[in-house]
Chain A
Amino acid sequence: MKKVIIRWIKIAIFMIILIFILMRINTILEPTYDYHNSEWPGTSTFKEFYKLEPDSVDVLFLGASVVTNGIAPQVIYDEYGIRSYNLSSEQQSLFVSYYWLKEALRTQSPKVVVLDTLFLEPLHEDEPFNMTEGMLRIAIDPMKMSSVKREAVKEICKIDESQSELSYYFTNIRFHDRWEQLTSSDFSEGIMYLAPLKGYYGLTSKGPDEYECYVQGNTEIRDELPELMVEYLWKIKELCDENNIELVLMTIPGEFMYDSVYNSMMDEINEMGVGYYNFTLQENYDKLECELPWESPIYHANIWGAEKLSSYMGKVLSEDYGIEGISDSQWDNSEKFYQEFMQVRNTIRIKKSDKYLQAINELPINDVTICFASDGKLLDDLEESDRVSAAETVIDAFADLGFDSEELMQNGTEMVAVFSDKGKNITMSDEGQIETDDLIGIWDEDLYAWATNESKGKISIAINSVEYVPNNADFCMIIYDNNTQRVVDIAEMYYDDNSKSLKISHTEPPAE
């Protein structure tokens, strides 16, 4: 008997060690989408949601990427005190919205659910869930093991027989091939759970110069909406009714809208009898008071458009649905992050060099890293008088930053600098005297930046081995957001002949 017991103990110890190791491996192999590597950080959104205190969310937003970029819960809280969370994700179809709503209701009791209608349309007709399998996994994999997840997985495998139920519990079945793509970030959970923006993520690209709202033409034609989407729209309504939740539908400007789809959607919405805010219509779009192209709420809104859209939705929730403002530290504590997020990105709109440099000077140095590089040829081809007047506009601003600005503006003076939480590291010299690969500003092993003046006259700034300086730039500045571990702005200073001044042109950083 003793032998048997010892044997079983040995087996148990072995199995515990093995299972622990395999679970850890599965966590590493599972792809994560966070602030660092995605404009629609689904993993962060869902993982962070679970950290909220129970029954602290009054409004839930559901929908696809257009909602992720369009609705900033922090704005809604700051202006109206309304506690909301953005549970949207990339390509989130109504099937996923339903199950995430069901999952959310295990810990939260929202008064209103705002659901975007984009995926009522047949956007991925060949796919069983109107979304690709990969996006479905992004949404479902972060869900904790629960009866809701088991139900969702069963339904998924019932509808799409190519899927494996087991792969949702043993994720190695789906993702073990990812071993070839692993990077250091897969081994650390640091940024994955960072989601103080409460499911929102802001873009900075300029919008279109103008937007043509939808105008209904033919009231008769109808298009068949995807059956599964309609089925789950009604399930969402039913779930809301069972839980005394007001369901509100929303269509963000820029979403595809044409008569056949609009008429079919309105049939369902009218039958449902729910509130509907269609921002593709002129009367609703105008209420946003967005000034294009910079305040763009169109499709994937930028941060300035999202502020307007969120502000308006906050007003709707407060006035039309009577949601009261409540002070909550979970939203109070994230305000600083949001403000810094915005502040860092606001630099993208600045064209004047002196204003840009002033804005840089005001950035929270603990949250950003700024790299500078100059080949000393910025004012090379100018007449002396033009050079002097151009330099004068920025001398003070450079001085405020800590540069020897007079020397900096001298022809032929090369410069590399890195400003980080470790301090300001500036190196200047005459042409040819800076060695190549002059390493400045390493701040940890996985992430480093160096700015060097290569002898062939080109400047370069690279972060994590990715080069950011545009071709032929004489003076370049890179702003790197430490919190989201992304380059936010690539700014090139150039001489503008028309205004006879130094201006800034911005290049959008390459996608991660």
Chain B
Amino acid sequence: MSYISLFYDILILATFLIYYITPKKYRYVILSIGSIVFYIHICTHPVQIAVFASSIVFAYLFGLLISRCVKLGADKEKSSRKYALQSKLFLAIGIVLAGMPLYFIRFTGTLGMLDDYNFIVPLGISFYTLQIISYLVDIYRGVAKVIINPVKFILYMSFFPQIIQGPIPRYSQLADQLFEGHDFDEKEALKGLQLILWGYFLKLMIADKAGVVVDNIFGHYTMYSGGYIFHAGLLYSIQLYADFMACVCISQGVARLFGIRLADNFNRPYFAETVQEFWRRWHMSLSGWLRDYVYIPLGGNRKGKFRKYLNTIITFLVSGIWHGGDVRYIVWGLMHGIYIVFGSLTSGLRDKITRIIMGKKDDSDEFTTLTGRLFRRACTFIFVMIAWIIFRADTLQIGIGMLYRMFTTFSPFVYFDSGIYNLGLDEKQTHILVFSIIMLFVVSYYQEKHRTEDIIMDKLLKQPRIMRWGLYIVAIIAIWVFGTYGYGYNASDFIYGGF
């Protein structure tokens, strides 16, 4: 139970009403209370609250200590070295203590003992741990101010729209927005509601519907030929994106109701023409975090090519571990690291091949032919999809088995007989899914063309009320009737909520 639940809707409504009737300077308190209520409600065991609280307490205390050392080191030149060492030590200890629950969970996951300790894992642990680390490091680096007010600190760490699945916030981007009270902005609120509606659409009309087929094939892959496994990989790629994007939209939408803009987490990743570009578009808050707190501290690309490639591999290894302790996540992370390294090593050769096959380079050095771009996007998508199959499979062995099957027994004719209607979704449901995916593509294409997420929302708000209302009502009815939820499903579980 999380963002798709009646409790959450009531919480938003209550917090929204109380927020705007509270004096501005205390509005952050309301958000804080709402966040605490939300988190307590979603915890399934009291230990989870204790684990979360302990991380926050450590982060708060060590944030104060690091800040004090940084300040004293700057004021007292003579003892600056001492304070620099102290701040480093406090940073290290703070990262270890605040992040201990995550490290422990990953460790048990690697040993296959996660099930025994699952009950203590608070939701969003992977996300808020990275947030804590970035907060402490930014204080150490002097780019973030320490939060002294404990209520504000709790709010920053637990802001309910983004605690479970991000985006992973940065102090500089989020803090001030949270603490300053906002006046009600009707336009922003309407956009927020539109985002929430779009999030529900993505979740219930695409992600959960595709999930029915994905679960079936991944659960019984030995019964299916390569064509079906390809189909499952394709659908999983869409499911994961739609599911994650849904959560982001709902989070952003809710935040906008309070006048707060959360960072974007996706930039139409399947439009990427290389894997490297994919990671500039997919889960941007995570890839940004990895860049700033892993890749660059390791040296980035400043220590020669070999170190650059090694740092890339290590960074993606960390990404894999972040997603889960199981070896398949590590392999998935390494695959992407290898993709990027290989892509970098062969970029010249690939450009030549693409030019030969698809068309000539023009003077601006961009592949402007449509087929060229589509070809590169398709190739990138295939590579990413292959890695997603490993990511989604129950074990690494199963993932490899599925890939082997996909390549050795592939047949495209699964799309021409009625076999795909027997995978959990009948013909009508499949058509609904396809239509919904097309809708997503159309919206994404339009956003990509205008290079802005808000283009459609802005255009919509300019339409006459009757047309807007009609569209909202039709969308709500479509989700109400055709969405995948309710009896036999558990739509409230977002995929990335398990991280």
Contact = CB atoms under 8 A, between A and B. Distances in A.
Interface string A161-182: 0001011000011101101100
B186 interface: yes
Contacts of A25: 477, 480-481
Contacts of B481: 25, 29, 172, 176, 179
Nearest to B484: A177
B469 interface: yes
A173 B426 contact: no
Contacts of A22: 476-477, 480
Contact of A172 (B186, B428, B429, B480): B480
B473 A176 contact: no
A179 B6 CA distance: 23
A115 to B, nearest CB: 30
A172 B473 contact: no
Nearest to B7: A166
A426 B480 CA distance: 50
Contacts of A2: none
Contact of A180 (B6, B428, B480, B483): B428
Interface string A1-12: 000000100000
A159 interface: no
Interface string B425-440: 0101100000000000
Given A14-B469, A180-B426, A164 B477 contact: no
Contacts of A167: 486-487
Nearest to B469: A14
A264 to B, nearest CB: 35
Interface string B474-498: 0011001111011100000000000
Interface residues of A, number: 18
B448 to A, nearest CB: 31
A176 B426 contact: no
Interface class of chain A by DSSP: helix
A167 B482 CA distance: 16
B476 A173 contact: no
Q: Which of B426, B481, B483 has the most CB of A within 10 A?
A: B481
Interface class of chain B by DSSP: helix
Interface string B454-488: 00000000000000010011001100111101110
Contacts of A21: 473, 477
Interface in A1-60: 7, 14, 17-18, 21-22, 25, 29
A166 B480 CA distance: 14
Contacts of A18: 473, 476
Nearest to A13: B469
Assign chain B's interface to a size class.
Answer: 10 to 19
Contact of B486 (A7, A17, A173, A179): A173
Nearest to B186: A7
Contacts of A166: 6
Given A7-B186, A22-B476, A22-B477, A172 B486 contact: yes
A18 B473 CA distance: 7
A179 B487 contact: no
A176 B469 contact: no
A176 B480 contact: yes
B487 A173 contact: yes
Contact of B487 (A17, A29, A174, A180): A174
A7 B190 CA distance: 12
Interface string B342-383: 000000000000000000000000000000000000000000
A17 B473 contact: yes
Contacts of B476: 18, 22
Contacts of B6: 166
Nearest to A28: B481
B486 A164 contact: yes
A180 B6 CA distance: 26
A173 B477 contact: no
A317 to B, nearest CB: 41
Given A25-B480, A166-B6, A179-B481, A174 B486 contact: yes
Interface in B174-192: 186
Nearest to A173: B486
A13 to B, nearest CB: 9
B428 A176 contact: no
Nearest to B6: A166
A29 B487 CA distance: 14
A25 B483 CA distance: 14
A253 B175 CA distance: 76
A422 to B, nearest CB: 37
B252 to A, nearest CB: 21
B445 to A, nearest CB: 29
Contacts of B429: 180
Interface of B: 6, 186, 426, 428-429, 469, 472-473, 476-477, 480-483, 485-487
Nearest 8 A/B pairs, CB to CB? A173-B486, A174-B487, A179-B481, A180-B428, A176-B481, A172-B480, A18-B473, A174-B486
11 contacts: A14-B472, A17-B473, A22-B476, A25-B477, A25-B480, A164-B487, A166-B6, A172-B480, A173-B485, A176-B486, A180-B428
Interface of A: 7, 14, 17-18, 21-22, 25, 29, 164, 166-167, 172-174, 176-177, 179-180
Given A29-B481, A167-B487, A172-B486, 16 more contacts: A7-B186, A14-B472, A17-B469, A21-B473, A22-B476, A22-B480, A25-B477, A25-B481, A164-B486, A174-B486, A174-B487, A177-B486, A179-B481, A179-B482, A180-B428, A180-B429
